[in-house]
Structure 1
Amino acid sequence: MTLSTSRRGFLQGAAAAGAVLFVGVKPSGAIAAAGEATQLNPFVRIGADGSVTAIVKHFEMGQGPSTGLTTLIAEEIGLTMDQVDYEFAPSNPEVYNNLLFGPFQGTGGSTAMANSFEQYRKAGAAAREMILQAAANDWGADVSTLSLENGVVRGPDAQAPMGDFVAAAAQLEAPAEPRLKDPSEFRLIGNPDVRRLDSAIKGNGEAMFAMDVYLPNQMIAMIARPEQRGAQAVSVDDSGAQDIKGYIRSAVLPNKAGVAVYAENTWAAMQARMMLDIEWDTSAAETRSSDEIEAEIRAALDAEPTYNVNKADVAAVNAAIDSAAQVVEQTFYFPLLAHAPMEPLNCTIEQTADGGLILHDGAQMPTGPHMALAQIFELPMEKIQINTMLAGGSFGRRTTPEADYQVEAGLAFVMTDRTRPVKLVWSREDDLRSGYYRPAFGHKVRIGLNESGEIVGWDHRVAGQSIMKGTPFESFAVHDGVDHSSVEGTYDSPYMIPTAHFGLTDTEKATSTLWWRAVGHTHTAYVMEVMMDMAAKAAGADPVEFRLGYLSGDAPDQARKAAVLRKAAEMADWGNAPAGHSQGVAVHKSFGSYVAEVVEISGNPEDGVKIEKVTCAVDCGIAVNPDIVKAQMEGGIGYGIGHVMRDKITLTGGAVDQFNFPDYEPLRIGDIAQIDVHVMPSAEAPTGVGEPGTPPAAPALANAIAASSDLRIASLPMNENGVSFV
């Protein structure tokens, strides 16, 4: 198991092991070595034996930062990937913060590489220059004549392993602005042969996920939660659980949000939980059902929007549409969706000998639980350690503003005598019935076309449940009352659409809402791309050419989006599908990246649709690890398509109906026959790849189905709205 310690313990422990060079970045961005300034945040640790460890501040849930950030360090120092290891950073938001989040240490929003590209390169470059300077001093050589390749310092008359110079390098002042390698010097960045560092351990079972943590004498805690959001536990009678072998006890959580069940093992906890007699106060609980929620959203779409997002002249937009030669319109509805990561939520908490705490967790945003535990246990932050583990997926679920499951673990632990570690475990049923969800949304769009088939007006209204309002991210994402995560991908689309209005109305939250892979783009891309297809058909135009007509500007946004669209169409041999096949296209910008996808299907909605091939082109700036970029596009495509095929979360009287994978079915490996991904060459700064593959996938499939049958799918999932799959 990779252990995490406090920053002070980290530095002291490493120094005690021998001569070590620490290189880090101050919040101001200046590079410095440890020594006098031991408060610096270390990104690189080099041992006296020349071993190099990259300290990775973004956690690993399968998206690849443990490899990507390590690649940056290895590239700049001059190492092979076999010569560098990684470990996850301790929780310290002052120095390991996500530069795009503010004072938070966390992973999300596809920001790992965008946030850390220059930061980690500078740390590696500083280490390289310090090693070379130490060697130059030792050899009496001009530093400009030395190089560091594959961990070996070479000069005109000598060579030696870099470990020989670590002690001397640690005494030098670090360069404030080290020279970063020119892209022409890259050997690892952009190399498609660089493979993931964590593949082997995940394949052979050595990888330690949070669920794998087992501490001596630990207890298992599971939480009995109310079926309806907002209900509170009043009392619990555990007499029915007393005879279950391994059962310890039950207690109402201090916040009344549930009942903690303690047992010697998970099975005993599950069995005991079913036998509890709990009195719930449902006076403030959610009681609406899905049809009522949908009706409220559709009613909001028919009313005037609360917010005029792009400050449009609504009267002018309506006049342009009303006087158009053709009007294309559609209303869409998107249900609640669960994240459903393969590893259900869990974490383990223990007390240290000095009265501090260690939380073992697949911590996506460690700052939240760190602060929460400090409050629960009334401890200073430095007395709490977060041991960040690998996580078996997240898709947004592991980063709640309330640190929900970590708070549950903390409350369950604080009610004990703290002599035994407590491992909190969620079941799959807990995840689907008591979790957080992508909120339900509706869109209503009217497009006016002139006699030439050109768009002359676009009225787009969105209604749904805000994710950001009431959270610590409100100041970041909400402006003038508009939660921009609700409308992202609409008003800010690279499409140059004249005379447009984008409106938003917030509706009451039906359950706990949370960002879901690609957040608002999961529904906005669907609507934008289906509507562009409908407009193209009304105009009698080819869907690809029609889109390109609205991407003809010289700005990078239009040029880059047009480029991926052309590339995907070329790779898919657009317009030349085999007999019995049809194609659909979608292109979207999200998280700074541009992704175009062409879905090719066979069959028809009545007899069954088979997804034969998905072709994808992505421009994410410099692709640090092309192999990982391709994998993320493939995963994002599967995630987007799998959910629209057959998944939704519904409520009856405020309680979630779905129970497990039989009624919330994940994508099957046979659902998509083939995926081809092309990574566009680019010299632009890296942008996100964890999420941008998801938004275009569903509309490309919907457009392929419409091309074969004229069926426009405006409500999801598809299998409940006229489409069967084979």
Structure 2
Amino acid sequence: MTTQLSRRGFLKTAAAAGAVLYVGVQADGAMAASKSADALLNPFVKIGSDGNVIAIVKHFEMGQGPATGLTTLVAEELGVSMDQISYEFAPSDASVYNNLLFGPFQGTGGSTAMANSWMQYRTAGANAREMLIKAAARDWGIDAAELDIQNGQIIGAGNAAPLGEFVTTAADFAPSETPRLRDPAEWKIIGKASTRRKDSPIKINGEAKFAMDVQLDNQMVVMIKRTPQRGGTVASFDDSAAREVKGFIMAQTLPTNHGVAVYAETTWAAMQARNALNVDWDLSAAESRSSQDIRDEIMAALDADPVFNVNQADLASVRSTVDGAAKVVEKTFYFPLLAHAPMEPLNCTIEQTEEGDIVLHDGAQMPTGPHMAYQQIFGLPADKIHINTMLAGGSFGRRATPDADYQVEAGLAFVMTDRSRPVKLVWDREDDIRGGYYRPAFGHKVRVGLDEAGTIIGWEHQVAGQSIMKGTSFEGFAVRDGIDHSSVEGIADSPYTIPGQALGLTDTEKATSVLWWRSVGHTHTAYVMEVMMDLAARAAGKDPVEFRLAYLTGEGDAERKAAALKLAAEKAGWGKAAPGRVQGIAVHKSFGSYVAEVVELSGNLDDGIVIEKVTAAVDCGIAVNPDVIKAQIEGGIGYGIGHAMRDQITLDGGAVEQSNFPDYEPLRISDIKEIETHIVASAEAPTGIGEPGTPPSAPALANAIAQLDVVVAELPMAENGVSFA
């Protein structure tokens, strides 16, 4: 099996069955349409003469819902039901399928899929509708204004016909840069709770094809024996024992010298042969610190003056204000390294076509990265590299690295062969947990001063940790004046109006390759901000909800954050917990969305606590797919709470100690009895939903636990005074 997914081939595949209408954009961003496979455009919508409608989804599907969301936008504007439209993933072409919020880069991340594509896909669907209607109006000799498309039928003025009948002539009409978009009052799909995910049926019945499912004719499987410590290199290896494994083909040191590639006929043979490989590592320049060493470095940085003054406040003045306050609340926090641990470990398959093109089959979160890397590895122009984007079984950020790490591994493993056989790279769970890309470790030191009335008059906040962006290809646009914003997001841009706040940052040396993790910096900044707001409220003798609302004044961010907070408190019955139960609350803005959560607990610290219920309220703008939104909030809550409860990555002499789910345990469905999600009605443009559910989950849990007189300032909770029943 050989698949060549060039842009031209992509279009011609659709055209093979008959006339096709393509609606999309040209390389300069202008709207375009054509009935020819040779047209120089990249479509967002394809419509066949058989009436088959396909949305071309430029954001990959790792469970967060763009395959449904973007398809919904096209279906709504075009006038077809969700049963009358399917989807395909776009080919790798950053000139048109770029993420508008990332610049000239095609990729999915930062909860940007809907925010980026909201107008783009609606416009494409609306143009397709108008062009088909004009074609029908001309054929019927009537005014186009009398026609509409509903349920795939062009209707009006006593006429009705399937839209496919006018595909051949629709491209005679030029698309508009500003077609009429349907008014919200007309919507039949957007915002409807009855709209279900497009990818659920195939995932349930087994038809869905994930990257791990790729099985090409005559393929080899390669697994990498990697250095146990970051920075180690291969000195030599002995494969004599591996040669005894049935199915073993060969072993080769990677050109980077960071590991040995073991090739075999099957995955099992590759695993067995790799285990039998004897490698002598050069660890002279490798990481050798322990987790305690890393923690000590971060804590020492917090005890010194910060290197960067983030908000330009006078630190000495704020410190003096806090020192002189009637009440001072202070706490030091520590957050360990965390792995992403998606259910589907990393993998991809690479092959060469008869024409010499390179094709990568991958759950490609950021296809531009491997596309550019392969141009260098294979010495080929961009149009000779093709990426077939597959479904992915989770990511949480791991499939998108600045250096395209696992795709580069596959490319290097393939280039060392004669390229006559496809090569499938497979990571196992141990590779993933020990893979060296983690949520960085961070520490916070906060001192809050209150006056006699319990009002905040000063907030001294220092952050220290391992920068994600510095030293990567993203540093140029993500770091300003030496400050990696991802280290302080959620504090520096908090909607809270906090008087006298000084925010400082110090970078510490990276012990591993660090990476964004679901919600990036918000994973630790939300925890600190929300736990400190609760502690300050307690010191002031005020209700935590009312205390927060006092610092959420005015319109815009503050108003929307306050509305989410009020809705969550109302729906959770804030302050009315049943006997034997306690509640904690947290609210946070991330990725343009506002999420408030209330955690309700039972039990005690001696016998173990039970998470009875989590009530969430979310404002993510227009709720395109409420069912997807609720699922993402549920998943985000589980992800955040599960890791805060019991997970951490620890190092011993630079080597990761955890290896699999027994010692890096994911959330279990029994850990949270019930989750209830409420969506704030909004007319604002859609914002992110894949990540915003995670940041407030752990602090809401911590604030509930604090009602039992334990303030958890160091994670994971299970290692710091909290037991779970």
Is the TM-score greater than 0.5? yes
- Aligned counterpart, 1:442: 443
Alpha carbons 1:4, 1:388 under 8 Å: kept: no
Looking at structure 1, the residues matched to 333 and 300 of structure 2 have their Cα atoms a distance apart, in angstroms, of: 13
- Aligned counterpart, 1:620: 620
- Aligned counterpart, 1:559: 559
1:613 corresponds to which letter in structure 2?
K
After superposition, residues 350-389 of structure 1 pair within 5 angstroms as 350-389=351-390
1:5 CA displacement: 1.4
1:373 corresponds to which letter in structure 2?
Y
1:471 CA displacement: 1.6
- Aligned counterpart, 1:484: 485
- Aligned counterpart, 1:266: 267
Alpha carbons 2:4, 2:353 under 8 Å: kept: no
Alpha carbons 2:60, 2:364 under 8 Å: kept: yes
Question: Deviating runs (4+, > 6 A) in structure 1?
Answer: 1-4
Alpha carbons 2:2, 2:216 under 8 Å: kept: no
TM-score calculated relative to the size of structure 1: 0.99
Looking at structure 2, the residues matched to 255 and 58 of structure 1 have their Cα atoms a distance apart, in angstroms, of: 31
- Aligned counterpart, 1:716: 715
Deviations along 1:402-438, one digit per CA (max 9) or x if unpaired, are 1000011011111111111110000000001123100
Looking at structure 2, the residues matched to 26 and 584 of structure 1 have their Cα atoms a distance apart, in angstroms, of: 51
1:604 CA displacement: 1.6
What SS is found at the alignment partner of 2:395? coil
- Aligned counterpart, 1:664: 664
Alpha carbons 1:33, 1:170 under 8 Å: kept: yes
Whether 2:588 is the aligned partner of 1:581: answer: no
1:404 corresponds to which letter in structure 2?
D
Is 265-274 or 292-301 further displaced after alignment? 265-274
1:14 CA displacement: 2.6
Among the aligned pairs, what percent are the same residue? 70
After superposition, residues 119-130 of structure 1 pair within 5 angstroms as 119-130=120-131
What stretches of structure 1 of length at least 5 have no aligned partner? Answer: none
1:51 CA displacement: 0.8
- Aligned counterpart, 1:475: 476
1:28 CA displacement: 5.2
Looking at structure 1, the residues matched to 156 and 660 of structure 2 have their Cα atoms a distance apart, in angstroms, of: 63
Looking at structure 2, the residues matched to 77 and 532 of structure 1 have their Cα atoms a distance apart, in angstroms, of: 47
After superposition, residues 64-463 of structure 1 pair within 5 angstroms as 64-463=65-464
Alpha carbons 1:4, 1:90 under 8 Å: kept: no
Looking at structure 1, the residues matched to 544 and 2 of structure 2 have their Cα atoms a distance apart, in angstroms, of: 51
1:35 CA displacement: 5.5
Looking at structure 1, the residues matched to 2 and 529 of structure 2 have their Cα atoms a distance apart, in angstroms, of: 45
The change in CA–CA distance for 1:99 and 1:61 in structure 2 (over 3 A counts) is same
RMSD value, Cα = 1.2
Alpha carbons 2:46, 2:54 under 8 Å: kept: yes
1:176 CA displacement: 2.1
1:115 CA displacement: 0.2
What SS is found at the alignment partner of 1:434? coil
Looking at structure 2, the residues matched to 446 and 187 of structure 1 have their Cα atoms a distance apart, in angstroms, of: 51
- Aligned counterpart, 1:24: 24
Is 340-349 or 471-480 further displaced after alignment? 471-480
Alpha carbons 1:56, 1:88 under 8 Å: kept: yes
Looking at structure 1, the residues matched to 601 and 35 of structure 2 have their Cα atoms a distance apart, in angstroms, of: 62
- Aligned counterpart, 2:603: 603
The change in CA–CA distance for 1:474 and 1:238 in structure 2 (over 3 A counts) is same
Deviations along 1:521-575, one digit per CA (max 9) or x if unpaired, are 0000000000000000000000111001111x22211110000000000000000
- Aligned counterpart, 1:53: 54
2:34 corresponds to which letter in structure 1?
A
TM-score calculated relative to the size of structure 2: 0.99
1:166 CA displacement: 0.5
Alpha carbons 1:2, 1:389 under 8 Å: kept: no
Deviations along 1:608-666, one digit per CA (max 9) or x if unpaired, are 01000000000000010000000000000000000010000000000000011000000
What SS is found at the alignment partner of 2:241? helix
2:668 corresponds to which letter in structure 1?
R
Looking at structure 1, the residues matched to 263 and 352 of structure 2 have their Cα atoms a distance apart, in angstroms, of: 17
1:502 CA displacement: 0.5
Looking at structure 2, the residues matched to 22 and 4 of structure 1 have their Cα atoms a distance apart, in angstroms, of: 20
The change in CA–CA distance for 1:96 and 1:681 in structure 2 (over 3 A counts) is same
Deviations along 1:263-317, one digit per CA (max 9) or x if unpaired, are 1111111111111111211121101000000000000001110100001111221
1:488 corresponds to which letter in structure 2?
E
After superposition, residues 512-551 of structure 1 pair within 5 angstroms as 512-551=513-552
Looking at structure 1, the residues matched to 690 and 27 of structure 2 have their Cα atoms a distance apart, in angstroms, of: 26
Is 432-441 or 524-533 further displaced after alignment? 432-441
1:12 CA displacement: 2.9
The change in CA–CA distance for 1:107 and 1:427 in structure 2 (over 3 A counts) is same
Looking at structure 1, the residues matched to 681 and 706 of structure 2 have their Cα atoms a distance apart, in angstroms, of: 32
Looking at structure 1, the residues matched to 177 and 294 of structure 2 have their Cα atoms a distance apart, in angstroms, of: 56
What stretches of structure 2 of length at least 5 have no aligned partner? Answer: none
Deviations along 1:480-527, one digit per CA (max 9) or x if unpaired, are 110000000002100000010010000000001000000000000000
What SS is found at the alignment partner of 1:408? helix
What SS is found at the alignment partner of 2:513? coil
2:510 corresponds to which letter in structure 1?
K
Looking at structure 1, the residues matched to 424 and 480 of structure 2 have their Cα atoms a distance apart, in angstroms, of: 40
